[in-house]
Amino acid sequence: MDRSVLKELEKMLPKGLLLYDEPMSAHTSFRIGGPADAFVQAKEADEVKAVLSFGREKAIPVTVIGNGSNLLVSDKGVEGIVLSIKDGNTQVGVPVYEDGEKAVFQAFAGMSLSAFSKGAAKLGFIGTEPLAGIPGSIGGAVAMNAGAYGGEMKDVLKSVRVLDKELNEAVLSNGELELGYRSSRILKEGLIVLSAEFELKKGSAEEALERIAELNKKRKEKQPLELPSGGSTFKRPEGYFAGKLIEDAGLRGFRVGNAAVSEKHCGFVVNLGGASCAEVKELMEQVRERVFKNSGVVLEPELRMIGRK
């Protein structure tokens, strides 16, 4: 990668925003991934647009990520620019619309979904409680149509502001987003989420916060949150649970190097310390083969893979 071209982008951005050869293991919940040629963490829409238009103009690939909680990044790193849309804001803004029964809130794609859900609950607006334990950004959660405990993004999204490949801006309504099980038009068409509008009902702040605490407790009991992972490794096949199929194939604790099927929840692959992407991939391949042999069910990855082949 020609550094001199990237230097031009570095000069256009606030000082220190562009990092060279940044290890992606520092930006993924799996703690896995080689260096990105360049890494920019954008905290506002203008920075997102500046990086994307620069990449387009100079024909440099730009890979958009959020909080990196659903990613498996190559050990060889990522070519071009990794653009992380993520900010540390935890404040839910004033509603853009409110009547006595509901309100519409707008949030930047880089805000943490968990912070948004808790903030809205505190204000007495309900609907996002089941999503509050998902460790992603709002943009990533829209792209994945993230969901948990009977709720999904589709239930609470009103609309989303996006950029298409030509960097045209548009607002897509919930219906236009084609939100399905861990799928969306965002992923299919490579759209970029800049912000989202949530429509939430008025309710009891106390009850909503209690529900969040209860679900987070459940999550902590069931999921291996004490070890790095990318969340559920495989999608839930219709009529089955991936974790149960893996357990039934005798793979609880199964290891390849330092990557292992979690002892606590077989639906998770965990990094026991210094695991490589190659180890996780090999483990996933063996799990798929053995589950297929045992049950005839084909597991499809939920993790999104990025980086050099």
Is 236 among the residues known to form the active site?
no
Instruction: Tell me the two tokens of residue 217.
Output: 């407790």
Q: Which is nearer to ligand FAD, 233 or 276 (CB)?
A: 233
- Output the 3-class SS for 70-91: CEEECCCCEEEEEEEECCCCCC
Part in contact with ligand FAD (CB under 6 A); list of ranges 49-57, 100-108, 132-140, 250-258: 132-140
Contact string (CB under 6 A) for ligand FAD, positions 192-221, x = contact: xx----------------------------
Q: Which residue of 73, 134, 196, 246 would you call a contact of ligand FAD, by CB under 6 A?
A: 134
Whether the CA torsion 218, 223, 227, 233 is positive or negative: it is negative
Question: How many C-beta atoms surround the C-beta of residue 100 within 10 A?
Answer: 6
Is 262 among the residues known to form the active site?
no
Single out the catalytic residue among 31, 161, 182, 236: 182
Q: Which is nearer to ligand FAD, 92 or 193 (CB)?
A: 193
Single out the catalytic residue among 232, 236, 262, 279: 232
Contact string (CB under 6 A) for ligand FAD, positions 105-124, x = contact: ----x---------------
305 beta partners: 72
Q: Please give the span between the terminal C-alpha atoms of the chain, in angstroms, as a whole number.
A: 16
Q: Which residue of 74, 229, 271, 276 would you call a contact of ligand FAD, by CB under 6 A?
A: 229
At 61 the three-state DSSP class reads coil
Indicate the length of the chain as a whole number: 309
Q: Which residue of 146, 242, 277, 287 would you call a contact of ligand FAD, by CB under 6 A?
A: 146
Of 98, 142, 140, the residue nearest 120 (C-alpha): 98
Q: Which is nearer to ligand FAD, 95 or 267 (CB)?
A: 267
Is 232 among the residues known to form the active site?
yes
Contact (CB, 8 A) for 37 and 21? yes
d(CA 80, CA 77): 10
Element (H, E) at 152: strand 151-152
Which residues does the annotation mark as catalytic?
182, 232, 302
Query: Which residues are at the interface with ligand FAD (CB under 6 A)?
Result: 29, 64-71, 85, 109, 134-137, 139-141, 143-144, 146-148, 186-187, 192-193, 223, 225, 229-231, 304
